[in-house]
Amino acid sequence: MLKRNIIILPVFALCLLLVQCTSITIVQDETPPEEKVQPIRIIKGPYLQNVQRTAITIMWETDLESTSQIDYGNEITYSEKVVCEKLKRIHEITISGLEVETIYHYQVISRIPDEKEEKMEPVITSKDSTFKTAVREDSPFTFAVYGDNRTYPEVHEKIAKGIAEKKPDIVLNTGDVVEFGLFYEGWGREFFEPAQELFRNTPFYIAIGNHEQDAPWYYDFVSFPEPENYYSFDYGNAHFTIIDSNQWLDKPDTEQYEWLEEDLKSTSAVWKFVFFHHPPYSSYPGYTEEGTEDKKLRVLCPLFERYNVDVVFSGHVHNYERTYPLLNNNVERYRYRDKAVVYIVTGGGGAEHDSLIENRSYFTAESAIMYHYCISKIDAKNFQMMVYNIEGKPFDFLNIGK
């Protein structure tokens, strides 16, 4: 009995001491609010752009003008860093000299000058994230496609989470990422914040939609190859071409048409994919007339056939639709290769649904009105696309062999 008390007493005393120490620490922390330096916040990102085999661009936005720094390396201890002392709110740094097809850890840091101390304080640091440099030409890879995520961030968040779980190498958005492109707040609320967990580890690309309003914010927040509203890039054994279909609605865009033809002609990639916002084939009820957006975009289809484009992805209409392989506006039901092109409408990322005409169009292989995203796996011989609904259940499948 006595022995036990001897043990209990010192433990009790130690606890008292600890409680006292804790309370002393709290008292010391109570600095008057007016003397505290304003903290800065990261309000967008960090997010990944323009991934290449040996380089990547990382962007983020802070609420105050601040410096830019990226710590990175193969381990979480970050053996390398790049620093830009210039003060800015939208930060953009390209890291080069990287290893091909390699996973890196990174964090971003921003500092603002403290006038009193004449040093750069305070500091904001992002949590540890990863990026993977682009794969070698013969390595299989995965890309996600979705679109029209605008207006309902809670839906966009679920879609982005579903995509992140599939761990794609890159993600492409078919446009209408915000409701009003000229409205600054929407870019955070509708696009960046709901998909933050996806974008900090996965580079994204956008085919600019009509709702982006060709706003300066679009060009400020992305870093795609110039001129950014249309561009192309290679990833693995595939060539991705992104065009701005807004420019085609009033009159044929000769400059872009020539660029597109040259772009498709000059690539020797095994797979060719084209992305633009307005679909050339859709069973949207408003598209039964001549002269509607879909018919205007069909002026591009002969180019896709001539240069062996495999699949064209669009959005704008808020549902899902997949055509049979089409050649010269006709169905090539059994030819999933060579000249025939499959057209996908994927506009189910968050905006209110659009309907479909009652009777199936001659070109429609599958269609559905639901929130969804597409995950495509590529290797030298096969393209396999699985389409998932917002609960993560697959509901359509496309396989193209070479």
d(CA 374, CA 385): 7
Q: Does residue 148 belong to the site contacting Fe ion (CB under 5 A)?
A: yes
The answer for residues whose C-beta is within 8 angstroms of residue 42's C-beta and 6 or more apart is 60, 61, 62, 108, 110, 124, 126
Stretch that binds Fe ion, among 58-66, 80-88, 220-228, 308-316 (CB under 5 A): 308-316
Among 44, 316, 322, 372, binds Fe ion (CB under 5 A): 316
Stretch that binds Fe ion, among 98-106, 204-212, 251-259, 262-270 (CB under 5 A): 204-212
> What binding mask, one character per residue, do residues 160-179 give for Fe ion by CB under 5 A, x or -?
----------------x---
Residue of 244, 235, 176, 229 whose CA lies nearest to 202:
235
Which CB atom, from 99 or from 352, has the smaller least distance to Fe ion?
352
Residue 355 DSSP label? -
CB 111 within 8 A of CB 121: yes
Find the shortest distance in angstroms from Cβ 245 to Fe ion.
Answer: 9
Residue 163 DSSP label? H
Find the shortest distance in angstroms from Cβ 298 to Fe ion.
Answer: 17
d(CA 109, CA 17): 38
Which CB atom, from 148 or from 253, has the smaller least distance to Fe ion?
148
Residue 380 DSSP label? S
Find the shortest distance in angstroms from Cβ 150 to Fe ion.
Answer: 7
3-class secondary structure, 329: coil
Q: Does residue 244 belong to the site contacting Fe ion (CB under 5 A)?
A: no
d(CA 56, CA 341): 31
For residue 234, what are the β-bridge partners?
Answer: 239
Find the shortest distance in angstroms from Cβ 354 to Fe ion.
Answer: 8
Give me Rg for the CA atoms of the chain.
26
Among 130, 210, 213, 361, binds Fe ion (CB under 5 A): 210
Stretch that binds Fe ion, among 146-154, 187-195, 379-387, 394-402 (CB under 5 A): 146-154
Q: Does residue 209 belong to the site contacting Fe ion (CB under 5 A)?
A: yes
Number of residues lying near Fe ion (CB under 5 A): 5
Residues near Fe ion (CB under 5 A):
148, 176, 209-210, 316
